[in-house]
Amino acid sequence: MLLKERLDTAVQVRRTLASGSSVVLSGPRGSGRTSVVEEAARLLGERAYVVRGSEGRSGIPLAACSELVSAFGDVDAEPLRLYATLPKVLLAAEAVVLVDDADHLDLASAALLSQSARAGVPMTFATSSPSLLPPSFRDARERSGWPTFELEPLADDQVLALAAARLGDELSPQSAALLLSHARGNPRIVLELVRSATALSSTTAGVDLGTLALTPVIRDLVDLSGLAADQLHLLHLLCLAGPLPMDVLDLGGVEELERQGLVHCTREEQQEIVSLVDPLLDDVVTETLTPLARRRLAGELADALEPVPGWSGVATLAAVRAGRRPDPARLELGARRALAAGRPAEAMELLRSGTADDGRDRSLEPRLAALLGSALSAQGSLTEAREVLEKGLADAGTDLERRDLGQQLGLLHAVRASDPATAVSTVETIAAAVDDPECRAVLLTDLAKWRMMAGQPATDVALALPGVGDSLDAAAEVNSALIGAMIEVMGGSLPEARRHVELGRQGLLRTDAALTFAPHLLDLSSFLAEVFDGRVVAAEELATRRRNAAARAADESLGMWEFATAEVALHVGRYTLGVELASRARRHLAWRDFTGLRPTAVALDAALMARTGRPSTALDLLTEITDDHRADVKVELHVARVRAEASLASGDRAGAAEILAVAARRAVEEAHLHLAVLALDEAFMVDPSTERAAELRSVAPPTGLAALLLARAESVCSGKAQAIIEASRALVDAGIPGRAGWSAAKAASLTREAGSEAASRSYRHQATVLASEHGASLWPDDAEGVVLTPRELQIARLAADRVRSREIAEQLDLSARTVDNHLARIFRKLGISGRGDLAAALDVAGLGESVDVSSS
């Protein structure tokens, strides 16, 4: 299975060799070097010869070059004679040599190939790093300026897509995190981990791979050969404890491991911290340790870390693993810190190691039960977590204990079990038994969130509750800020929303009692404020960073950020990307949903399916949506988009526009002004009338996104093409290419109706190129499929630069006939007669004349 990215590299290698130049191919083991070498050799045909440097490990001189020597030289000749004659023979035969694992060549083979390269024989040297090549190759590379192609790691989305293609379904968040962290973008590791999964099972959240299986292939990819005993000892310590301070490690050993690329050092809070580079090291290295050796190393770590400030938690965990019994207070503190750092398994290990003097399990005491229940809940052991929390609640003797246990029970029911209604009833009962106003305030403001998730009224509940007033502690302030930010960002003041976000973040610094997902919800409100203020590019970058980080950690915010990026993809016109993200969001919100967004994600997925021409799939998805779900206007807006697509398909544009407008009016009534504006703008795109523009104007809040869309609507109603194009450019700058492309297409339509064919063609070209470059759609007017595919755009640009079809075919590894067929489709989509018009058509800055097409 050769990935497209690797196939493209193979084509580039073949082109470079065919031009007579040598090339270096660099990439870590398992990155696909061998596949690229073999594919490039296949493309070159009979003149290509592959030399496998790994055969040099046999210790036999010229073993790696045996096939080359037998084909072109005298197998009985002395090496010196071969060095003198073989390069000339290879050059005369126009042979091309591709060397895999060039850093493992024996000295004799390296000398022979170096001679051949200096003689002008085109060669590929594939290596894990150019610095590891034999000196003669490095010198020739620097002297001759050979190009280097580096095999970049696969992006996170590519890793997940590769696994999904092999499994036929998306991975669960836990398995996705395992794969992303261990594969590090290496396709061979991805495929091997998926192939060797020990316990494949399908869950509502996706396919679970089970525990990591160490196969011979994976062990071979972790090369520990040549490590000294002291270096291996350092790796053992890092594998058992995770990152460690340099103060407790041997400096010389660390420097050597860093030189070999096995560890890296960072500075954190005035300390040098040493970490493993490759998570696979952890599994491969510790596999060889006996239980006794692990206990001995854990004891060594506990003793070394004990006096180091800030490392008491790690020292306590090491002491537990060494079989010791640390002070109960230290166990509790360590568990709290482990939970705060997102390591529930460590928290459980610490809590369950503590016993009272009479042998009782101390972890079930009310104060500790809240911690253990939280850890179990985070691990997905919901039944056991509930039992622990309910027992702790029954034994609770203080309001502080009831508060902590009530928070965790609410979180378990509302988020982990996706049952906010039960969370509401449970927390209401607990809050009624709490007298302390500050403890009660925390529970009641949590209750406001659970009520919102359950579709119950909750606006301003925290501030309106009797007895709370000014006594809200920092945790309650955080929850109040969450509610305030959500309300303001949907239909109020964006500056006020940002103020609430900042208050919430300040509150988080002063409490450890806030809900675990509070920072994510504050980030979501901040993201929405950026989107609604018209800074979509920055918002997308933020959401993508958060999504990737959540995927790598199996963080419970993953589904939320997948939903957020899918929603943006819908509104900027990248429907294909949106389908992929919405599908993941739907699965992963079934796993963790502290936002109540899963029904909205299902409806969003259906809307995107409808927009990409899959109405039956969209309707199948909507069967999951109940009347209760449609009580949420966010769901109803996406249902309306599905229904509008059906009307568009039947030719009823006015009906489609009205379906969108009706849903938008309901959004206005429920103070979701920004969502209403987006839907009203879609209604205008379907039916660009002055009435639709007037309705948009009547509800648009004074924010950046609304201003952009209103300016575009008014420019269309003005009938002035240049004004429409200026609005289109503003939309492009804001990061909304689909609506920008529609605007240019509208300018083309208006100028054509006014009789200006030249201007119309120019605007039409701009619309096509805008959408094509950004992977966007010209909805709702792309029925003729005028957007160029990525391959068509690539060929169009080459042809516009006067590259001939045969040369384009060679560059892209296509036949000349295929290139000509692509060009014919490109000419049709752009409405041009041939190559001579391509440069002007692709120049989106070269707009046609400004034409006033308004009626007088």
* pLDDT for residue 660: 98
Among 450-459, 641-650, 705-714, 716-725, which is the least confidently predicted range? 450-459
Pairing between β-strand 23-26 and β-strand 148-150 as defined by DSSP bridges = parallel
Higher-confidence residue of 786 and 817: namely 817
Q: What is the mean pLDDT of residues 743-770?
A: 88
* pLDDT for residue 105: 87
* pLDDT for residue 374: 92
pLDDT tops 90 at residue 170: no
Instruction: Yes or no: say if 646 and 615 are a contact pair by the CB < 8 Å rule.
Output: yes
* pLDDT for residue 472: 45
Most confident among 67-76, 316-325, 441-450, 651-660 (mean pLDDT): 651-660
Model pLDDT for residues 487-527, shown as the tens digit of each residue: 999 988 999 999 999 999 998 888 765 667 889 999 999 99
**Rg, C-alpha atoms of the chain:** 32
Tokens for 11, please give them: 């084509």
Most confident among 78-92, 209-223, 439-453, 529-543 (mean pLDDT): 529-543
The CA angle 130-131-136, to the nearest 5 degrees, is 85
Higher-confidence residue of 541 and 204: namely 541
Pick the closest to residue 728 from 708, 753, 750 (CA basis): 708
Q: What is the mean pLDDT of the chain?
A: 86
Q: What is the mean pLDDT of residues 648-670?
A: 95
* pLDDT for residue 466: 43
* pLDDT for residue 75: 65
Among 7-21, 97-111, 131-145, 457-471, which is the least confidently predicted range? 457-471
* pLDDT for residue 626: 93
Q: What is the 3-state secondary structure of 107-134?
A: HHHHHHHHHHHHCCCCEEEEECCHHHCC
* pLDDT for residue 359: 56
pLDDT tops 70 at residue 231: yes
Q: What is the mean pLDDT of residues 44-49?
A: 89
Asked, as a colleague might, if the bond just before 28 is cis with ω within 30 of 0, I would say no
Quickly state the pLDDT bin for 713 (edges 50, 70, 90): very high
> Percent of the chain, pLDDT > 90?
39
* pLDDT for residue 465: 45
pLDDT tops 50 at residue 240: yes
Model pLDDT for residues 304-344, shown as the tens digit of each residue: 999 988 888 889 999 999 998 888 888 888 898 888 877 88
pTM confidence score? 0.74
Q: Could you give the dihedral angle defined by the CA atoms of residues 449, 454, 456 and 460, in that order, rounded to the nearest 10 degrees? A: 10
Residue 185 phi/psi, 5-degree rounding, is 80, 10
pLDDT tops 60 at residue 833: yes
Count CB-CB contacts under 10 A for residue 839: 15
Model pLDDT for residues 338-390, shown as the tens digit of each residue: 888 778 888 999 988 876 555 566 667 888 999 999 999 988 889 999 999 99
Dist CA 741 CA 777 (whole Å):
8
Dist CA 831 CA 826 (whole Å):
8
* pLDDT for residue 603: 97
Among 6-10, 192-196, 313-317, 488-492, which is the least confidently predicted range? 6-10
Dist CA 265 CA 572 (whole Å):
41
Q: What is the DSSP letter of 32?
A: S
* pLDDT for residue 355: 66
pLDDT tops 60 at residue 142: yes
Instruction: Yes or no: say if 599 and 629 are a contact pair by the CB < 8 Å rule.
Output: yes
Terminal CA-CA length for the chain: 63
Instruction: Yes or no: say if 717 and 685 are a contact pair by the CB < 8 Å rule.
Output: no
Dist CA 738 CA 536 (whole Å):
13
Among 96-105, 135-144, 303-312, 462-471, which is the least confidently predicted range? 462-471
Alpha helices for 96-250 (secondary structure H): 107-118, 135-144, 156-167, 173-183, 187-195, 216-221, 229-241
Most confident among 4-13, 73-82, 286-295, 448-457 (mean pLDDT): 286-295
> Percent of the chain, pLDDT > 70?
93
Model pLDDT for residues 554-589, shown as the tens digit of each residue: 888 999 999 999 999 999 999 989 999 999 999 898
pLDDT tops 80 at residue 779: yes
Unique residue bearing structure tokens 């051949």: 116
Quickly state the pLDDT bin for 452 (edges 50, 70, 90): low
Q: Which residues share a beta bridge with 125?
A: 24, 99
* pLDDT for residue 65: 86
Q: What is the mean pLDDT of residues 228-237?
A: 89
Instruction: Yes or no: say if 681 and 713 are a contact pair by the CB < 8 Å rule.
Output: yes
Pick the closest to residue 147 from 49, 235, 20, 35 (CA basis): 20
* pLDDT for residue 854: 42
* pLDDT for residue 590: 83
Dist CA 135 CA 697 (whole Å):
70
* pLDDT for residue 845: 45
Pairing between β-strand 263-268 and β-strand 271-276 as defined by DSSP bridges = antiparallel
* pLDDT for residue 358: 52
Q: What is the mean pLDDT of residues 821-848?
A: 79
